[in-house]
Structure 1
């Protein structure tokens, strides 16, 4: 046997012997009651102790109460049927924006605290926001495609993806 096994066995035996220890009760010359695990005198009596109150703890729920569960009723409640890009609109030409485009989505329901909206411009992610709009900087002129997703921030699951919208950024040419 290795030294760890021997140590564990000795600890278990020591704990068992402590659990079996008797408790004695005696009264001193001043009338004070004392309790001890060593018999102080022959007139000390073994204390009759009640068994301790044991209360079973309730298990802790591992996920926040507001977090989405596998319940199909809750899934349908937060399905975001009206989730779509509202700005820019399909086929829209944006002039003189200086490369800054504000994109937004329509949401038919309020986002849950753990949900985020993630925008993708030309397939590239542009962060996760708690609101339904975001400013995207340095958008070059030309044709672009944007779509958005509602994502559960805890599980990183995609809840809903919008249809892509194609729009155009145009700039006046210098003469």
Structure 2
């Protein structure tokens, strides 16, 4: 009984191998047909040919015994180059910011940019404005050397005991929750304060 079992198993294995090979050939044939159809222009003609061994091939060139197949139109999309994408994104972002900006200008009225002045106490007054005028729910915010120093709807700020030297001030508009709305201009100014080495006015004899 065992002597006859081996040939049966061998025959079963051969059938399994043949079935797997047939399945792989069918899958390859379908894949090839799909790739060819995708590569064809819209409404192109594809020819299907079956040889004497049952092998199916697809081609865009007619041959004897081949069957013509109508391929549905394929939608094609031409993607832009990577460098073009970057240019488009930057340009669109800039245009959007310009068009949607609620203010044309947000600027300092005083002091002027690069102005130099004296203050014995170190107190200085800043005044800012915008065009158009400040909208409802918005406030001006001023920073000095990168640090927020106050918010105001009037556009007037008083800074106390500012150290002598050159400083940078920047104004922006924020909403009622302090979230940035639009950034304005920045200026630099130099503050002089009297000291033993630098009296506020020249001494008179």
| TM-score, length basis structure 1 | 0.51
Aligned 8 A contact 2:122 2:193 in 1 = no
Q: CA deviation at 1:126?
A: 1.1
Whose relative contact order is higher, 1 or 2, with alpha carbons under 8 Å and at least 6 apart?
1
Aligned counterpart in structure 1 of residue 156 of structure 2, from 113, 127, 133: 133
Question: What is the CA deviation profile of residues 22-61 of structure 1, one whole-angstrom value per residue up to 9, with x for unaligned ones?
Answer: xxxxxxxxxxxxxxxxxxxxxxxxxxxxxxxxxxxxxxxx
For 2:138 and 2:168, locate their aligned partners in 1 and report how far apart those are by CA, in whole Å.
23
| TM-score, length basis structure 2 | 0.44
Which structure's CA Rg is the greater one?
2
Q: Give ranges in structure 2 of 5+ residues lacking alignment.
A: 1-95, 198-205
Q: Give ranges in structure 1 of 5+ residues lacking alignment.
A: 1-71
Runs of 4+ in 1 over 4 A off after TM superposition: none
For 2:119 and 2:148, locate their aligned partners in 1 and report how far apart those are by CA, in whole Å.
24
Question: What is the CA deviation profile of residues 66-119 of structure 1, one whole-angstrom value per residue up to 9, with x for unaligned ones?
Answer: xxxxxx9xx85x722121122111111121252111111121122223111111
What is the aligned residue count? Answer: 100
Is 1:171 matched with 2:189? no
Higher helix share: 2
CA RMSD of aligned residues (A): 2.1
1:157 aligns with: 179
For 2:150 and 2:192, locate their aligned partners in 1 and report how far apart those are by CA, in whole Å.
24
For 1:148 and 1:86, locate their aligned partners in 2 and report how far apart those are by CA, in whole Å.
11
For 1:151 and 1:93, locate their aligned partners in 2 and report how far apart those are by CA, in whole Å.
29
Aligned 8 A contact 2:164 2:191 in 1 = yes
Is 1:79 matched with 2:102? yes
Aligned counterpart in structure 1 of residue 139 of structure 2, from 80, 100, 116: 116
2:118 aligns with: 95
